[in-house]
Amino acid sequence: MDKKMIEKIKSDPDFQKLVSERSRVMVVLTLIELFVYFGFILMVAFNKEFLASKLGEGVVTVGIPIGIGVIVISFLLTGIYVYIANKDYDELSEKIKNKYIKEV
């Protein structure tokens, strides 16, 4: 693909929409993940007593379900991104590709 075609695609409104929407969603999901993860790490660093407190009479502490929650949230955020990508980005990518594939 030549530079002229690349510049043409970059200036396409659909391509710019795709890039801006994808970037916005990526930033939001990344910030949520960083907040959850670093929140847990900060809790480990500064509030060990809370995380070490037992749940009921057993050996399970509060930190275990919170740690599992961090992992589950990571999977959920990945699923959200995949859902959005399949619903919106794939259709828009196909539209862009079909528009320019004829010119190649």
Q: What is the value of pTM for the model shown?
A: 0.81
- Structure tokens of 6? 């690349």
- Structure tokens of 56? 């009921």
- The predicted structure's pLDDT at residue 98: 87
CA distances from 49 to 46, 75, 89 (A): 9, 28, 45
Could you list the pLDDT tens digit for every one of the 104 residues in the chain? 688 888 888 899 999 999 999 999 999 999 999 999 999 999 999 999 999 999 988 889 999 999 999 999 999 999 999 999 998 898 889 888 888 877 55
**101/57 Cα distance (integer angstroms):** 65
Residue 12 dihedral angles phi and psi, to the nearest 5°:
-65, 130
